[in-house]
Amino acid sequence: MFDQVPTLLERLFLGRSIPRRAALAHHMPRWLVERIQRAEFQRTLQRAQALSPYYRRRFVEAGIEARALQRIQRPGQLGDFFTTSADLRTCDTREFLCAPPQAGFETTGTTAQNKRIYFSNEEVHDIGFEGAVGLWNLGLRPGDRVVDAFDYAFWNAGITLMHSLNAVGCFHMIASKLEPGEFYRRVKEYQFNVLVVDTAWLVSLTEIAQQQGTWPVKFILSGSENMSETTRGWVESVWKAKVYQAYGQTESLGASGIECPAQKGYHLNELNFLFEIINPNADGFGELVFSTLTRKTMPLVRYRSNDITRFLDDAEPCGCLLSCLRRVDKIQGRGDEIVSCGMGMISPWIFERWLDAAGESGLGARLADDWQVAVLQPGTRDIIELRLELREELREELREGAAAGNRGLEEELRQGLMAQFERIFPYYFKNLHMGLFDLRVVFLPRGTLRGPSAGTRRKLRRVVDERMPQAVLAAP
């Protein structure tokens, strides 16, 4: 019977009108959400087993028989069966497919192999439609004028947003990720009162607006990465408007969650995904894992997001229209060494390529093997700090040069590295030029990064996010 519930819910209860859907969402009982999730999860497993060569093989390898699969209603019953980002990168993506795709997106620049995710047009439309309820909850109405400054290249966020804005019926224009100064010059006359933007890009725009003036804005929605509360406070004070954040990944079509007016965590999109937090520590922080519930083209079963967060309990109810959807806390860090920051999604692979290129250009002979990249945020903008250990003889040369008041050699080394950066990463260089982040190179004596007491056993973390409290980063 409950196989029919989502359809019935759609047709009889929620309907296709955004205001009606938003109003009714407020009254949707929690037990109904959970019952729908169980029915859809069961259906997703059946579909994956029947139509996806990848999942059929994985279920056999895990010893999960088709008949046993029919009895599974909760993700935890699958034990340690997960889908990881490494699976998406290393397996032939076509093996995941259960139907011919109509739309495709890529994750950007994190590793040598981008992840590819496929959808039907209907799935993209439906996720955007669901997102419209979240925007309505933030106060978006048909009379508003929205400008979207998301990057469109191979990325889904803008397309999903476009479907959301169509559903609400407001005026909108796509600025894509125009250079903030040019954006500022060109958009003022349109009187956009809602800005939907990339987080780091918003910081650059706000710096310009602080100098040259703002215009009346109802709210700003930023996506793509975490924004610190200090930065949010500053951006809000400049624009005199609330800044909300959305949370998602390409794998979830950018639609895992969205903040509500209370700005206390993201309401999860529980009609399209079933979320779990695995390996929680004493404070409840663990890795967020999701299964898709309504995707028929490329379903994902227990996909490990690598994002560390926790479910927020109901001790502080927000009272908004989406109260029946659980919330998660701000993302506290990545479970691995992929860090989302003003430069984009960065991982050790990027810096390995950079240093390889420097090596080929002759600079490498001067560098030791140890390096680390730290993401810092002393003010409002992320600083990407490349910490490079130098070979001892070069260190000596630099020391002698500095003592003689000559910093030429150090500067020459730095310029050589920056020239290589510009040559091999035009995309990141453009973001640097746009002021989305600062990049600095710090030279260190050999042995500094691993520390004197750590010996050689310690594995050096190549990318560290020092914007986050260390206590939280120590979580699993």
* Minimum separation from the CB atom of position 172 to Zn ion (A): 24
Burial class of 324 by CB neighbour count within 10 A (0 to 12, 13 to 18, 19+): middle
The 3-state secondary structure of 39-66 reads HHHHHHHHHHHHHCHHHHHHHHHCCCCH
Say how far apart CA 34 and CA 22 lie, in whole Å: 18
Q: What angle do CA 384, 385, 389 make, to 5 degrees?
A: 150
Count of residues in contact with Zn ion, rule CB under 5 A: 3
300 touching Zn ion, by CB under 5 A: no
Kind plus residue range of the DSSP H or E element containing 383: strand 382-390
Query: Given the structure tokens 């005199």, which residue do they identify?
Result: 240
* Minimum separation from the CB atom of position 327 to Zn ion (A): 7
Binding map of Zn ion across residues 212-251, x = CB under 5 A, - = no contact: ----------------------------------------
Nearest residue to Zn ion, scored by beta-carbon proximity: 260
260 touching Zn ion, by CB under 5 A: yes
Torsions phi, psi of 439, nearest 5? -120, 130
Q: Which is nearer to Zn ion, 266 or 421 (CB)?
A: 266
* Minimum separation from the CB atom of position 468 to Zn ion (A): 24
Q: Which is nearer to Zn ion, 268 or 439 (CB)?
A: 268
DSSP 13: I
312 touching Zn ion, by CB under 5 A: no
* Minimum separation from the CB atom of position 331 to Zn ion (A): 17
* Minimum separation from the CB atom of position 256 to Zn ion (A): 15
Q: Which is nearer to Zn ion, 157 or 260 (CB)?
A: 260
Say how far apart CA 358 and CA 364 lie, in whole Å: 6
Say how far apart CA 203 and CA 180 lie, in whole Å: 9
320 touching Zn ion, by CB under 5 A: yes
Q: Which is nearer to Zn ion, 242 or 366 (CB)?
A: 242
For residue 237, how far is the Cα from the chain centroid? 25
Q: Which is nearer to Zn ion, 134 or 333 (CB)?
A: 134
318 touching Zn ion, by CB under 5 A: yes
Stretch that binds Zn ion, among 42-50, 120-128, 260-268, 467-475 (CB under 5 A): 260-268
Stretch that binds Zn ion, among 244-252, 295-303, 317-325, 365-373 (CB under 5 A): 317-325
- Whether 70 and 46 have beta carbons less than 8 Å apart is answered as yes
- Tokens encoding 139: 């106060």
Q: Which is nearer to Zn ion, 98 or 258 (CB)?
A: 258
- Contacting positions for Zn ion (CB under 5 A): 260, 318, 320
